[in-house]
Amino acid sequence: MEQKDKSTQDLDSKISSDTVLFFDMDGTLVDTNLANFLSYKKAILSVTKSNHELTYNSDKRFNRSSLKNAVPNLTENEYERIIQEKEEYYNDFLNETKLNVKTAEILFKYSKTNKTVLVTNCRKDRAMTTLKHFRLDDKFSNIFYREFGDNGEKVNKFRNAILKLGVPPNLIIAFENEESEISDAHKAGITIINPTNL
């Protein structure tokens, strides 16, 4: 209990009225891994009509690369259909998502006094469905969803949000759990990153 109080005090000491808080969604604010996996599994079965032996790993998010490894020899059309259906099936598994209480408490506390921003690589529909499920949709000053550059490359979500908000990176504290995204936050000039792990 003392440890939690100390980490809360450390965070409180870093946050002033000018501080802007950036929150990632998947894995940071909400654990969506199981719902994501089950959505993929249902989509794979729907498209391929066969039950592939997929094993859920709570430590590793099932993604497009995992799909190619788990179900080799998919045609490009099948691959695209699985990804599309996976998005549609996500709502069937919303009850398998879990709020990260520690991060949510920080959001609830500071959304009253500071600018709180959702910065996610999630698609808009799924992000809003998840936020509404946990009644978090009104806790953010701004929401930035997944974006791609002109050539289809992934955009650094932190750099994008900083640019659009016009906020200096030194005023931002980011809550992010994924290593590659933490690296992107550093590249965007954000020095204080609170890696919240479930």
Instruction: Give the model confidence (pLDDT) of 136-172 as tens digits.
Output: 999 999 999 988 777 778 889 999 999 999 999 999 9
* Res. 55: pLDDT tops 80: yes
pLDDT of amino acid 1? 43
Question: What does the DSSP assignment read for 155-188?
Answer: P-HHHHHHHHHT--GGGEEEE---HHHHHHHHHT
198 residue type, one letter: L
> CATH top-level class for 2-31+98-194?
alpha beta
pLDDT of amino acid 5? 56
Q: Where are the domains positioned within the chain?
A: 2-31+98-194, 33-95
20 residue type, one letter: V
Fill in the DSSP letter of residue 153. Answer: P
List the beta bridge partners of residue 33.
none
Instruction: Give the model confidence (pLDDT) of 5-46 as tens digits.
Output: 566 778 888 999 999 999 999 999 999 999 999 999 999 999
pLDDT of amino acid 39? 96
Q: Rounded to 5, what percent of the chain is helix, strand, coil?
A: 50, 15, 35
| Mean pLDDT across the chain | 91
Q: What is the pTM of this model?
A: 0.89
Q: How far apart are CA 33 and CA 1, in angstroms?
A: 27
